[in-house]
Amino acid sequence: MYQLTRGVLALMIGFILSIIAGVILVPLLKKIKASQTVSTYLFKKHKDKEGTPTMGGLIFIIPTVLSIIILILWHKIEFSANLFIVLFVFLSYAALGFIDDFLIIKRRNNVGLTEFQKLAGQIIIALIFFFIYMKSGAKPVLEFYTLGFEINLGWFYGIFLLFMLVASSNAVNITDGLDGLAGGLSLIAFLTFALISANSPAIEGTSDISVFCFVLVGCLIGFLAFNSRPAKVFMGDTGSLALGATLATIAIITKHELTFIVVAGVFIFETLVCLIQIISMVYFHKKVFLMTPFHHHLEKLGWNERDIVVVFLCVGLLLSMAAIVFGVWY
């Protein structure tokens, strides 16, 4: 009961601070014209989005950090090693995304960091995370609690974690193409891990991770007040990279790497669609989808944006419920 009460308190603090942040930051971002150019391939459908400011991830990133500081000073959570690791990844990927968004805004041509620069940054942060995580006493294993066994991956575990962080951050970034889509799916995913991490067996410090997730859920609810259709602001790479990498980090720390595959199922599907399209174009010179990611394919087929978002969120909710109720492999 205490854990639930603490979680609800964290959620409320995050929500209130994110609403305040949104009220302050949205007009400010509009004032400095922090917007991107709408894709020419979807200009007719997305014409109303022209001029909408990006970098809105700050609306949930700043309040999340402030909320955690408040809860630590209030002695509601401890600044554990696991919480430090999560905050490090969260803020590092947010900073990388912020640089990318800033360059796009400054240059006014939708060109930020190069793909190589962005990938290099993601890999460097992931390597630092792996070093800190292993130094904290973590074991290079995948654990199957319900079945009662574990798989020691040895040095391959580092490659596995590296792939998880980079792939997850890019997957959320790819999915962030419609109003409220990436934010809504992330809300569901972090709420799932808030419940999972509150009950992770034999792992110290995960209750504080659970509180972090509740804080972020509250902040995302506040963010969606400004990001739901018609969006007043987009999260940009500032938000999407931070959300994706942090989701993977929490799955790793709570030893639910395989559960992550189910919880992040929609993000993974969107990414696979893009990969299939690229492979098909390179080797067969033929499109499989009208446009990628898949949500844009549905738009090309005539689907309404709101309907696409609702369907994707329902699928995300069902996957998360399956992860919680059945525990997947755990």
Task: Give residue-wise pLDDT tens across range 84-130.
Answer: 999 999 999 999 999 999 998 888 777 789 999 999 999 999 999 99
- CA 46, CA 67: separation in Å to the nearest integer? 34
Q: Are 104 and 54 in contact (CB under 8 A)?
A: yes
What is residue 146's DSSP assignment?
T
- pLDDT tens per residue, range 127-171: 999 999 999 888 888 877 656 678 888 889 999 999 999 999 999
- Mean of the per-residue pLDDT values for the chain? 90
Closest alpha carbon to 56 in 98, 95, 103, 90: 98
Q: Cα dihedral angle (161, 181, 321, 260), rounded to 10 degrees?
A: 0
In the predicted structure, residue 187 carries a pLDDT above the cut 50: yes
List the single range of 7-11, 44-48, 161-165, 171-175 with lowest mean pLDDT: 44-48
Domain span at residue 311? 2-326
Q: 136-150, 205-219, 248-262: lowest mean pLDDT where? A: 136-150
Give CA 63 to chain center in angstroms: 16
Report how far residue 168's alpha carbon sits from residue 265's, in angstroms, rounded to the nearest whole number. Answer: 11
pLDDT at 329: 45
For the chain, helix, strand, coil in percent to 5 are 70, 5, 25
In this predicted model, which residue has the larger pLDDT, 31 or 216? Answer: 216
Query: What stretches of 74-205 show up as alpha helix (H) in DSSP?
Result: 81-107, 115-135, 156-175, 181-197
Q: How many domains does the chain have?
A: 1
More confident residue, 142 or 206: 142
Residue 86 contacts residue 212 (beta carbons within 8 Å): yes
Res. 42: pLDDT tops 70: no
Q: How confident is the model at residue 197 (pLDDT cuts 50, 70, 90)?
A: confident
| Amino acid 204: pLDDT | 61
Do 122 and 166 contact (CB within 8 A), yes or no? yes
Residue 201: pLDDT over 70 = no
What pLDDT does residue 328 have? 43
The alpha carbon of 186 is separated from its chain's Cα centroid by a whole number of angstroms, namely 5
Q: Kindly indicate the confidence band of residue 8, based on its pLDDT and cuts at 50, 70 and 90.
A: very high
